[in-house]
């Protein structure tokens, strides 16, 4: 059995099979080559993407996303009496660093929809560019017809699913909500193309922390104030328990009349628990315990 090198290797199609480094060569038309093999120098190989044999004519490599970089955390949204309410924090994390604090993760799309995203922010911006073009062409028809939330949701579903099939996903969980002709619509699309409609949705950590709250407390006739209170309850739990949450909340509402962006604000938190104020109470005899 041939011993493969332990370093990360990559599948490439090299011009000449003999060029591959001896320790890694497998004698097929696609070769497993050491990523650091001198033969790979200058081939434009990046460490954070994986190369697969190029399917597009003329290119030796195609790339696919392996992991996201600047990410947004959870998003929560619900249908209320007059329309849709969506809430997200304004943070963009760079790994474990809470690096950016003014990222708007909820944007209006056309006249009738709102798109919120968690996951890779650059992919969200790319999606916004696609949708911008879509809405532009829709407006250019100028014929009394317009793309509503249902149409945009389905377009996004196809977009995400087709990217997933090419093993190059847009690394986002999207929430699409809107109102058109009195019909309220709220749906989600994930990065693998799973798509559905619901009365209340959440992404990321919100799936675990917010949805149980929404299941218990959501009802069809929520007023605007009740809706905001419910969203705040969810966002507060997320703020306490999600390490990538940032205390700067953006709430956006959409109704038949249009979109309203509320100015970002912070949630009030309470940390005055006895266990936090006296963390070592009850630990008799510990050598680090303060004696006072």
Partner 1 sequence: MFRNQYDTDVTTWSPAGRLFQVEYAMEAVKQGSAAIGLRSRTHVVLACVNKANNELSSHQKKIFKVDDHIGVAIAGLTADGRVLSRYMRSECINHAFTYESPLPVGRLVVQLADKAQVCTQRSWKRPYGVGLLVAGLDESGAHLYYNCPSGNYFEYQAFAIGSRSQAAKTYLERRFEKFMDSSRDDLVKDALIAIRETLQGERLTSNICTVAVVGVGEPFHILDQNTVQQLIDAFEIVAEEEPPAAEAGDAADQETAAGEGAPAEEGAAPMDI
Q: Quick one: CA torsion of 273, 279, 283, 289, rounded to 10 degrees?
A: -150
Among 25, 50, 120, 151, binds partner 1 (CB under 8 A): 151
CA distance 195 to 158: 10
- Which structure tokens are listed for 271? 């940390």
Provide, rounded to whole angstroms, the least separation between the CB of residue 198 and partner 1. 16
236: which 2 tokens?
């507060």
Check residue 193 for interaction with partner 1 (CB under 8 A).
Answer: no
Stretch that binds partner 1, among 141-149, 165-173, 220-228, 248-256 (CB under 8 A): 141-149
Q: Which of 59, 139, 158, 223 touches partner 1 by CB under 8 A?
A: 158
150 binds partner 1 (CB under 8 A): yes
Per the annotation, the verdict on 259 as an active-site residue is no
Is the CB of 117 or the CB of 159 nearer to partner 1? 159
Q: State the nearest-atom distance from the C-beta of 154 to partner 1, in Å.
A: 4
Q: How far is the CB of 202 from partner 1 (least distance, A)?
A: 23
Question: CB neighbours of 168 closer than 8 A, spacing ≥ 6?
Answer: 62, 63, 64, 65
- One residue of 147, 174, 188, 246 binding partner 1 per CB under 8 A: 147
CA torsion 186-192-193-195 (nearest 10°) is -30
- 236 CB contacts (<8 Å, ≥6 apart)? 267, 269
Residues that bind partner 1 (CB under 8 A): 141, 143-145, 147-148, 150-151, 153-155, 158, 181
Indicate which residues carry an active-site annotation: 65
């Amino acid at each position: 059995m041939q011993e493969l090198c332990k370093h990360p290797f990559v599948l490439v199609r090299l011009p000449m099979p003999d060029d591959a480094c001896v320790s890694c060569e497998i004698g097929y038309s696609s070769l497993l080559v050491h990523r650091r093999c001198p033969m790979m120098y200058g081939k434009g190989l990046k460490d954070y993407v994986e190369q697969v044999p190029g399917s597009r004519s003329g290119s030796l490599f195609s790339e696919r996303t392996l992991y996201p970089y600047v990410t947004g955390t959870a998003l929560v949204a619900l249908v209320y009496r007059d329309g849709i309410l969506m809430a997200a924090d304004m943070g963009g994390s760079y790994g474990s660093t809470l690096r950016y604090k003014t990222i708007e993760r909820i944007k209006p799309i056309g006249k009738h929809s709102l798109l919120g995203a968690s996951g890779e922010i650059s992919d969200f911006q790319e999606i916004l560019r696609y949708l911008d073009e879509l809405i532009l062409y829709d407006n250019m028809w100028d014929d009394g017809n317009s793309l509503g939330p249902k149409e945009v949701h389905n377009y996004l579903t196809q977009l995400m699913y087709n990217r997933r099939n090419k093993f190059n996903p847009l690394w986002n969980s999207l929430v699409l909500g809107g109102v058109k002709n009195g019909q309220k619509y709220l749906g989600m699309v994930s990065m693998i193309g799973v798509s559905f409609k619901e009365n209340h949705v959440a992404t990321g950590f919100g799936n675990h922390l917010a949805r149980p709250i929404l299941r218990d407390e959501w009802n069809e006739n929520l007023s605007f104030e009740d809706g905001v209170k419910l969203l705040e309850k969810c966002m507060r739990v997320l703020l306490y328990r999600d390490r990538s949450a940032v205390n700067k909340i953006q709430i956006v509402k959409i109704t038949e009349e249009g979109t309203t962006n509320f100015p970002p604000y912070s949630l009030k938190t309470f940390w005055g628990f006895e266990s936090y104020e006296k963390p070592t109470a009850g630990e008799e005899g510990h050598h680090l315990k303060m004696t006072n």
